[in-house]
Amino acid sequence: MMVTEERLPGWRSACTRLFDAPIDIAALAAFRILFGTMMALGMARFLAKGWVRELYVAPAFHFTYPGFEWVRPLPDFWMHAHFAALVLLAVGIALGCFYRVCVVLFFLGFSYVELLDQANYLNHYYFISLISGLMILLPAHRAWSIDARRAPPLRASTVPAWTLNLLRFQVGVVYFFAGLAKVNADWLLHAQPLRLWLAARSDLPIVGPWLSEQWVACAASWCGAIFDLTIPFLLLHRRTRAPAYVAVIVFHISTWLLFNIGMFPWIMMVAALVMFPPDWPRALASRVAKHFGGTSISSSPTCTDVTPLPRWGIALLAAYAVVQLALPLRPYLMPQPPAWTGRGFNLAWQVMIVEKTGFVEFHAVDPESGQRHRLSAKEYLTPRQEMMMAQDPQLIRDFARHLSSEMKRRGQSAVQINVNAYASLNGRPSQPMINPAVDLAGPVSPDWIVPLVR
């Protein structure tokens, strides 16, 4: 690893190391290539599995985010074209071909997709949006890219340290807060939801029989929490880095095999590489070359000066960091568990800590006659949306309002929407989730969500 800054005293030295020290661009360029490749595969997988139609085109109703109700899905053909364009943009990012244009458009295009429906929220989609947003700022195309080949003045062998540290911060936040979210009684004392999830895989060969054992779930829970809480620090430390990355591989491959969590393990295995020294790709290439009898094919670049980050740039990064630290702390300020109420659960790295199954039915009630009839959600929602909604009181309320407005549109104005909603959280017996007497179409009192029986 290159260390170029002169020895400066106190905070200035620390700031220089964090922000302005020139570091090898190799890690950043490698991250660009791996991230772009991963995204291209991910978007192509989306198309191949037919999820574009299933998630965005088929539903007649979307659970839009507050303030983003104007974000609407495109027609079938154009939605598919949008994903095809995301594949091309991701390839552009990987190749470093018109990188800035590609990464800006990818960020906008991917975030647009994510804003379409809250029922599709996944932590790793949020992570991708954040990373692609950050990459707009990063000069990751100044080496090992078509852009650099085409425009020699663009080429650089070093970048300021903040570029890599920003990614390290983001990856560290994900792991650390995912670990912090596991510090609770369900996870550590009752080994839930791992007990349920592991036991569900008890038919697997060799390891299967052990997975239904309680002590295995307990051990896995504790190991998982310790892993998430410590892995960013262990990866940053030279002496612990190698075993820590082995742990990353083992952990994420295991979760990939045991649970249906898509691209997340692979994305995190790639993302964890940012914790390595900036010259890791060159070091790896040298070792591979040596192994095959060659000589080192590339060496770390000599020190070059980089433009220091202006004060407003530091302020911007600090503001971003504050937001990223504050958002995952929201759940700890809530009186009821966010997993139960749906408030403060998203954007907080509450990763894989909840097994929640819900059931909901909607009733239109005439307040004058007391007559009630059951409403079908099937007309508006796909089975997947219905399943996601049944777990989340906020989505249930959104849909109740939609049903109410639909009924008003059909001339049935004075109708209340009541629900029978039950849910089970982390193996607890099912219980009512929403007060069945509350009209969800109108203003609700603060106690409309029934508190979780602990």
- Using CB under 8 A as the binding criterion, the count of chain residues that bind other proteins stands at 44
Token digits for 63?
């659970």
Which positions ≥6 away from 108 have C-beta within 8 Å? none
Pick the binder of other proteins from 180, 377, 441, 450 (CB under 8 A): 377
Residue 444 in contact with other proteins, rule: CB under 8 A: no
Pick the binder of other proteins from 13, 37, 212, 394 (CB under 8 A): 212
Peptide bond preceding 193 in cis form (omega within 30 of 0): yes
Distance of closest approach, residue 221 Cβ to other proteins, in angstroms: 16
Residue 3 CA to residue 284 CA, distance in Å, equals: 19
- Tell me the CA distances in angstroms from 187 to 191, 192, 248, 354, one per residue in order: 5, 5, 20, 9
Residue 401 CA to residue 151 CA, distance in Å, equals: 55
User: Considering beta carbons, is residue 101 or 219 the nearer one to other proteins?
Assistant: 219
DSSP 78: H
Binding characters for other proteins, 327-366, by CB under 8 A (x = yes): ----------------------------xxxxx-x-----
C-beta separation of 83 from 43 below 8 A: yes
User: Considering beta carbons, is residue 135 or 360 the nearer one to other proteins?
Assistant: 360
Token digits for 205?
């060969």
User: Considering beta carbons, is residue 131 or 377 the nearer one to other proteins?
Assistant: 377
Residue 383 in contact with other proteins, rule: CB under 8 A: yes
Token digits for 415?
């109708």
Residue 430 in contact with other proteins, rule: CB under 8 A: yes
Residue 197 in contact with other proteins, rule: CB under 8 A: yes
Q: Which of these, 254, 434, 452, lies nearest to 340 by C-alpha position? A: 452
Near other proteins by CB under 8 A, which window of 72-80, 94-102, 208-216, 325-333? 208-216
Pick the binder of other proteins from 77, 152, 206, 293 (CB under 8 A): 206
Residue 76 CA to residue 382 CA, distance in Å, equals: 16
Burial class from Cβ neighbours inside 10 Å (0-12, 13-18, 19+) for residue 368 reads exposed
Residue 88 in contact with other proteins, rule: CB under 8 A: no
Residue 227 CA to residue 180 CA, distance in Å, equals: 11
**DSSP strand pairing (416-425 vs 431-432):** antiparallel
Near other proteins by CB under 8 A, which window of 91-99, 175-183, 374-382, 438-446? 374-382
Near other proteins by CB under 8 A, which window of 42-50, 206-214, 296-304, 307-315? 206-214
Per CB under 8 A, contacts with other proteins among 239-258 are: 242, 245-246, 249-250, 253-254, 257
Name the site residues for other proteins (rule: CB under 8 A): 195-197, 199-200, 202-210, 212-213, 242, 245-246, 249-250, 253-254, 257, 355-359, 361, 374, 376-378, 381, 383, 386-387, 422-424, 427, 429-430
